[in-house]
Amino acid sequence: MEFDWSKDETEFRSALKDFLSSELPEGFDAFDMPEHDAKEFSKTFAVKLAERGWLTPAWPKAYGGLDQSPWQSLILSEEMVAHGEPRFGQYMCVNWVGPALILAGTDEQKEYHLKRISRGDVMWCQGFSEPGAGSDLASLRTRAIWDGKDYVINGEKIWTSYAGVADFCFLLARTDGEAHKHRGISIFLVPTDAPGLTIRNIPSLFFDGAFNQCTFENVRAPASWMLGPENGGWPIIRKLLVNERVGVARYRRAARSLERAAKIAKAEGLFDDPTVLEALGRARAACEAARVLVYRVIDERAKGRYPDLTAYVYRVATIRAERAVYEAELHIEGLAGMAEGSVAAKQFGHAVTAGVATGTLEMQLNLIARDIVGGVGA
């Protein structure tokens, strides 16, 4: 057991920091921007990242990556979110859409999609949740039925982030209605301009464009859009959802927000107020706890495993961090935190959505319980 970064890792972080500081305006935050602007910015920015090999550095060299380790991926994620995530939604393509294609794609799919992702000119959304299938994802009912020529997709996806600006949807649909619910699911790579696909924005309490409803009405999907084997989507998803759960260094973004709040507290002379000190201390410690707990997940991945338990534990810790940071900011800003643009108001959405994004907190608790309590009957 040791907690040192290697020389390569330290140099990588330092180079990233230098690059991001020189490229981005002070206080940049893609999540404060209108969604369309953030997407356009990310496309320009991704080209600069791609030139340095930093858009897809964890991908194998054969697919244009640098074969970097999971530790370097973590560093990339930390530094990107610490600088306002200039890749915007493209982190998804890099973290798990690309790896899913590498894992299960045909040569044609790899050739087309991996190239586009590694050029940074494409956005994806994930067609997972449905009105009747959220945390219980495998109960999804969107159907894709083979009619002898194409799969015909009908169904509804909801709460879909980035759908309004995405070029493709990574869609889960049921191709076998009779099989056990985990065994009848297939993955489709669907262009968002496919005839029959309608995308409606659902106004969000928190972020511009965050929520969308995607309605599939007789969308015709040729077999070439299917990723992996028919009815074999679930094992691919299970492996890659870990990438999603740890793909965004939320604790690092929360810590950045806390830095802003601490600056305000200091300027306003609040460092004498024990309630402010305690809230700040607790929030910082919560961010630090999430940071060290993510190391266990990365360590397992670096050793070739697909971690479950440690990833769920990390998720719970990072949700706590998001909330603790918001609470500290309320102590500092008080009613000023209710004003649009305040540090607390910006953190609010992250603090609330953290417990639902990528599977609810309660689902993570159930999964950890299965491990630490084991089988004890109903």
Partner 1 sequence: MDMELNETQRAIEDSCTRLFARKAGPSRARLLRAEGGFDRPLLEEMQSAGFLDLFDDAETGPLAAALVTEWASTAAALAPIGQRALIAPAAMSDIPPLVVAVGEKGRKGPVRYAAEADLLILLDGDDAQAVRKGDFVAEPVDSKFGYPMARIASAKGTALAAGSGRTARNWWRVAIAAEVAGIGRAALDLTIRYLKDRVQFDRPIASYQAIQHRLVDCHVSTDAVQWAAREAAYHRAPDELAASAAIAAEETAYRLFYEMHQLTGAIGFTREYDLHLWTMRLQTLRQEAGGINSHAHDLVHARWG
User: Which residue number, 69 or 175, has a Cβ lying nearer to partner 1?
Assistant: 69
Query: Is 2 assigned a catalytic role?
Result: no
Phi–psi pair at 344, nearest 5 degrees: -65, -40
DSSP 269: T
CB of 38 or CB of 283, closer to partner 1? 283
CA dist 313 and 1 (Å) reads 19
- Contact positions with partner 1 (CB under 8 A) in 240-279: 262-263, 265-266, 271, 274, 277-278
CB–CB of 165/123 below 8 Å? yes
Residue from the set 55, 189, 298, 354 that interacts with partner 1 by CB under 8 A? 298
Q: Can residue 3 be called a binding residue for partner 1 (CB under 8 A)?
A: yes
Residue (223 or 292) nearer to partner 1, CB = 292
> What does the chain come to in residues?
378
| Span 311-330, contacts to partner 1 by CB under 8 A | 313, 316-317, 320
CA 10 – CA 31 distance, rounded (Å): 27
- CB of 373 vs partner 1, minimal distance in Å: 5
Our finding on whether 67 is near partner 1 (CB under 8 A) is no
Nearest to 288 by CA among 324, 321, 310: 321
Helix axes 250-267, 274-302, angle to 10 degrees: 160
CB of 266 to partner 1, least distance (A): 6
CB of 325 to partner 1, least distance (A): 14
Closer residue to partner 1 in complex, CB, 110/282: 282
Instruction: For tokens 């990588």, name the residue.
Output: 12
Query: What one-letter code names the amino acid at 87?
Result: R
Calpha distance 33→122 (Å, rounded): 18
Site residues (CB under 8 A) for partner 1, limited to 334-353: none
State which residue, 274 or 341, has the beta carbon closest to partner 1: 274
Q: Between 214 and 317, name the residue whose CB sits nearer to partner 1.
A: 317
Q: Binders of partner 1: how many residues, by CB under 8 A?
A: 44
Inter-residue contact 86 to 20 (CB < 8 Å): yes
Distance CA 309, CA 300 (A): 11
Tokens of 292: 């060290």
Least distance to partner 1, CB of residue 227, Å: 32
* All residues at 6 or more sequence positions from 89 whose CB lies less than 8 Å from its CB, including other chains: 38, 39, 42, 123, 124, 125, 161, 162, 165, 166
Cβ at position 291, least distance to partner 1 in Å: 9
What is the radius of gyration, based on Cα positions, of the chain? 21
221 binds partner 1 (CB under 8 A): no
Per the residue annotation, which of 85, 244, 322, 329 is the catalytic one? 244
- Alpha helices per DSSP H over 70-200: 70-82, 90-92, 98-104, 107-109, 115-119
Q: Where does this chain touch partner 1 (CB under 8 A) — which range of 44-52, 200-208, 298-306, 345-353? A: 298-306
Residue 191, strand partner residues = 168
Answer yes or no whether residue 2 interacts with partner 1 by CB under 8 A: yes
Nearest distance, CB of residue 8 and partner 1, angstroms: 12
CB of 377 to partner 1, least distance (A): 5
Per-residue x/- track, 277-296, partner 1 (CB under 8 A): xx-xxx-xx--xx--xx-xx
Contact by Cβ (8 Å): 258, 278: no
d(CA 343, CA 346): 5
Member of 154, 299, 345, 360 binding partner 1 (CB under 8 A): 299
Question: What single letter denotes the amino acid at residue 206?
Answer: F
Write out the catalytic residue numbers. 244
Binding-site ranges for partner 1 (CB under 8 A) = 1-6, 71, 262-263, 265-266, 271, 274, 277-278, 280-282, 284-285, 288-289, 292-293, 295-296, 298-300, 313, 316-317, 320, 362, 365-366, 368-369, 372-374, 376-378
